[in-house]
Amino acid sequence: MLKIKISESELAQHTADSYHELAMQMANPSDLNISEVMEIKLFELKEITEKMRSEREILRVELTHTYDKEFPTLEETANETASASTDTSKKKHDSGADEDNSSSGSGRSAMRTWTDRSGKHHIKAKFLGMEDGKVKLEKPNGDVIRIPPTSLSEEDRQFIGEE
């Protein structure tokens, strides 16, 4: 798992470096034209992304053999997440309320639906507190995520006491 996190970090860094290099190229054009530089950078990013996908698939197969249990592919997980997000959004819209706030107890440690600043993305999670300036949330499957408070909706920022 650590290897995948390192690969994701490398991909993010390479993406940032590529954008920086493209910006510099646009500011100071030289012999290479912008489209050639972009084509080279896109090819590099595709290679890194494909390597990371392969490493994830190898891990998935290893986990399947180790635990004698089927683990979903990256695409299956993405489809499940997308449909769950759509279902949650539809339920909130149909009921006109956030029903997750009332279930499983009350207070800041209860499971609730969190919304991003755009209002397009939702996640069900428990508030665990703040850590290194980030909101620490626990998803129903036990995964803990950390996100900057500025990416949350105004209502969620008020909930955690950031506004």
Query: What distance in Å separates the CA atoms of residue 106 and residue 112, rounded to the nearest whole number?
Result: 10
| Extents of the domains making up the chain | 2-71, 79-159
Query: What distance in Å separates the CA atoms of residue 141 and residue 109, rounded to the nearest whole number?
Result: 15
Please answer whether residues 120 and 107 qualify as being in contact, where contact means their C-beta atoms are separated by less than 8 angstroms: no
The answer, yes or no, to whether residue 138 has pLDDT greater than 70, is yes
pLDDT one-digit tens code per residue, 57-79: 888 888 888 888 887 887 787 78
Question: pTM of the predicted model, to two decimals?
Answer: 0.39
Amino acid 88: pLDDT: 59
Query: What distance in Å separates the CA atoms of residue 138 and residue 133, rounded to the nearest whole number?
Result: 16
Mean pLDDT of the chain: 77
Query: Which CATH code fits 79-159?
Result: 2.30.30.700
- How many other C-beta atoms are found inside a 10 Å radius of the C-beta of residue 14? 16
Query: What distance in Å separates the CA atoms of residue 108 and residue 138, rounded to the nearest whole number?
Result: 12
Please answer whether residues 152 and 116 qualify as being in contact, where contact means their C-beta atoms are separated by less than 8 angstroms: yes
Amino acid 7: pLDDT: 66
State CA 96 to chain mean position distance. Answer: 26
Number of H helices, E strands in the chain: 4, 4
